[in-house]
Amino acid sequence: MDTTVLILGGDGFCGWPTALHLSRHGYHVVIVDNFSRRKIDVDLGLESLTPILPMEARLAAWRRASGNTIDFIMMDIAREYDRLLEVVRTMRPQAVVHFAEQRAAPYSMRDSACKRYTVNNNLNATHNVLCAIVESGLDVHLVHLGSMGVYGYATTQMPIPEGYLPVSIQAPDGSRVEREIMYPPAPGSVYHMTKTQDALFFYFYNKNDGIRITDLHQGIVWGTATDETGMSEALVNRFDYDGDYGTVLNRFLVQSVVGHPLTVHGTGGQTRAFIHIRDTVKCIKLAIENPPLPGERVKIFNQATETWSVKELATLVSRLTGCEARSYADPRKEDQENGLIVENGKFRSLGLKPVTLSEGLMNEVRDVVSRYRHRCTLTKIPCTSVWTAGQKTDTGGVPLTLA
């Protein structure tokens, strides 16, 4: 069996631990990345809380720790189509795992330049990958990292299905027409909008060219370390805590260590889906090993293991650490309160035993943060990207009573 897997975006928060995990399990891994995420850090005057090494040093550390080699190609997949096609043709990968997009909703709403960059980068990246697979003439399985947020977290008592919704419509002659349609998109940021458009690309290229595609609608990834990144300090994963790229639970855990109040937006009634980084890497391996059959429609999985409201998370972190929570004017345009029920039976049926939120795991993150707390810049914690011109950045907040 050809075991080559291309990891597009393999220098990032999800891509790097996935590359190590697959390498450890016998895959020949080739990382493709243009370091745009590192460049955005420089532009924003930030750094990962953890000191991530240059790619060459990361890969050398992996060779020392595991005895395995990961190859690396520096390339902008949104702009260097001919090179991308050449890589697919020569590497003949079994699968391409596509993480290579601008992934922060707040960054995608900062200003017109960031909106346009996010659309140009994400849509061209995805479309180029699809064109390259078609033009190569190879049967390559594409595994894409999508987002639970494509559905807009609408409050209903109905669980969000894994991609497809059965509908029954009454025809004019009185008969009933039964169909399965794609679950309606309702993006809440320019970033999430690009993910809904990716899904249409997948629908088309699967129907037209028979490409085998798995789209993973992932929830918010928390945690930082996996078994593989823990093998050496030189393999440490990136850790974002700033107002654009930091995600809510990891931010709260950093804030609890550095003495910043927990930054709850509005009432904190926003409910979201979560997954630990250790499960992310396992899910990707399961997706690669269970591709759609030839001719099968796009496989869609909800890659999330549990749901929590922001206020519930603040309560858990505050109980664990005694830190204060404050309510800040919400910089986003989002429902202040929503329920969210997410179906995730597909990964469970493939054998995933979810890692769920526990004090032990939260403490593990806090230990990492404590080690690198001297690298935290407090002024980068407030969320300064607002969704509409009328909204203001709130850096003070008001005390929030937790249960």
The residues that touch ligand USQ, with contacts defined as CB under 6 A, are 103-105, 147-149, 219-220, 247-248, 251, 263-265, 270, 272-273, 310, 330, 332, 334, 383
Q: Is 386 in the site for ligand NAD (CB under 6 A)?
A: no
Q: Which residue is nearest to ligand USQ (CB)?
A: 149
Amino acid at site 384: T
Size of the site for ligand NAD (CB under 6 A): 26
Q: Is 100 in the site for ligand NAD (CB under 6 A)?
A: yes
Q: Is 279 in the site for ligand NAD (CB under 6 A)?
A: no
| CA quadruple 16, 26, 8, 298: dihedral sign | negative
Which entry of ligand USQ, ligand NAD, none binds 244, CB below 5 to 8 A by partner kind? none
Q: Is 394 in the site for ligand NAD (CB under 6 A)?
A: no
Q: Given the complex with ligand USQ, which of 84 and 220 has the nearer CB atom?
A: 220
Q: Is 48 in the site for ligand NAD (CB under 6 A)?
A: no
CA atoms within 13 A on the CB side of 228: 27
Q: How far is the CB of 304 from ligand NAD (least distance, A)?
A: 9
Q: How far is the CB of 33 from ligand NAD (least distance, A)?
A: 4
Q: Given the complex with ligand NAD, which of 147 and 256 has the nearer CB atom?
A: 147
Q: How far is the CB of 94 from ligand NAD (least distance, A)?
A: 20
Q: Given the complex with ligand NAD, which of 303 and 397 has the nearer CB atom?
A: 303
Stretch 156-175 residues interacting with ligand NAD (CB under 6 A): none
> Of residues 3, 35, 115, 269, which one binds ligand NAD by CB under 6 A?
35
Which entry of ligand NAD, ligand USQ, none binds 105, CB below 5 to 8 A by partner kind? ligand USQ
Q: Given the complex with ligand NAD, which of 326 and 375 has the nearer CB atom?
A: 375
Q: How far apart are CA 30 and CA 22, in angstroms?
A: 10
Structure tokens belonging to residue 233: 């300090």
What are the φ/ψ torsions at residue 46 (nearest 5 degrees)? Answer: -125, 170
Q: How far is the CB of 196 from ligand USQ (least distance, A)?
A: 11
Q: How far is the CB of 330 from ligand NAD (least distance, A)?
A: 19
What are the φ/ψ torsions at residue 85 (nearest 5 degrees)? Answer: -60, -45
Q: Given the complex with ligand USQ, which of 312 and 334 has the nearer CB atom?
A: 334
Q: Is 12 in the site for ligand NAD (CB under 6 A)?
A: yes
Which entry of ligand USQ, ligand NAD, none binds 14, CB below 5 to 8 A by partner kind? ligand NAD
Which entry of ligand USQ, ligand NAD, none binds 223, CB below 5 to 8 A by partner kind? none
Q: Given the complex with ligand NAD, which of 298 and 400 has the nearer CB atom?
A: 298
Judged by the rule CB under 6 A, the positions of this chain that interact with ligand NAD are 9, 11-15, 33-37, 76-78, 99-101, 103, 121, 125, 145, 147, 218, 220-221, 247
